[in-house]
Amino acid sequence: MAEGNCAAVRRLDARLPGALGTSAQAPDARGAGMRRALAAGGVAILAALLSACGGGQRQDATEPAGSFPVEVTKARFPTHQRLAQASDLELAVRNVGDKTVPNLAITIYTGEKSQTQKADGSFNVRVNPTAASPDDPTLANPNRPVWILEQNFPKLLQPGMSLRDLAKAPSAGAEAAQTDTFQFGPLAPGETKDMVWHVTAVREGTYTVHYEVAAGLEGKARAVTRDGGRVQGQFIVTISRKPPQTCVNAAGQVVQGRCQF
């Protein structure tokens, strides 16, 4: 099952505590047996979906408590971009402690000066209705994409790989139930994970892209800097309306920038 669908199933399971493995109860009345049968069927379907996603165990069931020192060794994202331009956001995180990080997780969210609430989606912003148009039907969904994340991303660069090897890099960063969070699994002492999000700019303006590093999904395992601080950072990015200049080089390839022959 696609990981995005699995995340939705896990969110549903979290909203129905005690549903799995228990008997559905209904008051004694006409049709109570049918209601019990329907409830049991719903529980069975949810259990099957969770099984397809790797089991119904809560994500925090085995998460250890503690602090795990890590270091961001690479943080790259072009600060000046153009509409329709594709760019790579790259983060590399190294475990500088002596314990394995249980589940390396990266939260990414995008903001702008007028934004008062986080949007749903790492590369979206939330547009608030104005006093002049509070009933604007286009704002029924206030989330607006600034970048579109390419399918099968993020990817994990293996040791010795560079951005030129993205086509060969495996997909990674399964979507977690938490909004805007990607999980990359355990990180052994001394190990580094180099993660890349390939995105295309679709909205003009200046935005701040925030990232935060965690050692788990439920707050028990905390990623910290060497001095015990939070592991986080940001990119301030301006996207202009002018499309990138492209040309065809001597090899017949379409490239960005001025071609020199």
Q: Are residues 158 and 72 in the same domain?
A: yes
Is residue 257 domain-resident? no
Please state, rounded to an integer, the average pLDDT across all residues of the chain: 79
Cα dihedral sign for 179, 114, 116, 105? positive
CATH number for the domain harbouring residue 105 = 2.60.40.10
E-strand stretches of 52-112: 66-76, 80-82, 86-95, 105-111
Q: For the chain, how many structural domains are there in total?
A: 2
Q: Is pLDDT above 70 for 23?
A: no
pLDDT band at 48 (very low <50, low <70, confident <90, very high): low
Q: Are residues 105 and 201 in the same domain?
A: yes
Q: Are residues 14 and 86 in the same domain?
A: no
Question: Cα separation of 206 and 77, whole Å?
Answer: 14
Q: What is the average per-residue pLDDT within 47-56? A: 50
Q: Are residues 93 and 190 in the same domain?
A: yes
Is residue 57 domain-resident? no
DSSP 50: H
Query: What is the SS3 assignment for 137?
Result: helix
Question: Cα separation of 21 and 43, whole Å?
Answer: 8
Q: Are residues 74 and 160 in the same domain?
A: yes
DSSP string, 139-206: GSS-EEESEEEPTT-SEEEPTT--GGGGGGSPB--EEPSSTTEEE---B-TT-EEEEEEEEEE-S-EE
Q: Are residues 26 and 86 in the same domain?
A: no
50: alpha, beta or left? (left if phi > 0; alpha if psi -120 to 50): alpha
**Nearest in space to 155 (alpha carbons), one of 173, 175, 182:** 173
Q: Which of 102-111, 161-170, 192-201, 245-254 has the lowest mean pLDDT?
A: 245-254
Is residue 60 domain-resident? no
Is residue 208 domain-resident? yes
Q: What is the pTM of this model?
A: 0.69
**Nearest in space to 145 (alpha carbons), one of 100, 109, 178:** 109
pLDDT attached to residue 4: 47
Q: Are residues 44 and 157 in the same domain?
A: no
pLDDT attached to residue 61: 61
Structure token digits, residue 2: 């696609």
pLDDT attached to residue 141: 78
pLDDT attached to residue 27: 44
Beta 232-240 vs 80-82: how paired, if at all? parallel
Question: Cα–chain-centroid distance for residue 230?
Answer: 19
- The string of pLDDT tens digits covering residues 193-245 is 999 999 999 999 999 999 999 999 988 999 999 999 999 999 999 999 976 66
H or E stretch covering 79: none
Q: Are residues 87 and 158 in the same domain?
A: yes
- What percentage of residues in the chain have a pLDDT greater than 70? 64
CB 199 within 8 A of CB 86: yes
pLDDT attached to residue 85: 94
Question: Cα separation of 12 and 228, whole Å?
Answer: 35
Provide the domain limits for residue 156. Answer: 66-129+138-251
Q: Are residues 32 and 155 in the same domain?
A: no
Question: Cα separation of 106 and 180, whole Å?
Answer: 8
- The string of pLDDT tens digits covering residues 105-163 is 999 999 876 566 788 899 999 887 654 455 565 567 788 999 999 999 999 999 999 99
Question: Cα separation of 261 and 249, whole Å?
Answer: 8
pLDDT band at 2 (very low <50, low <70, confident <90, very high): very low
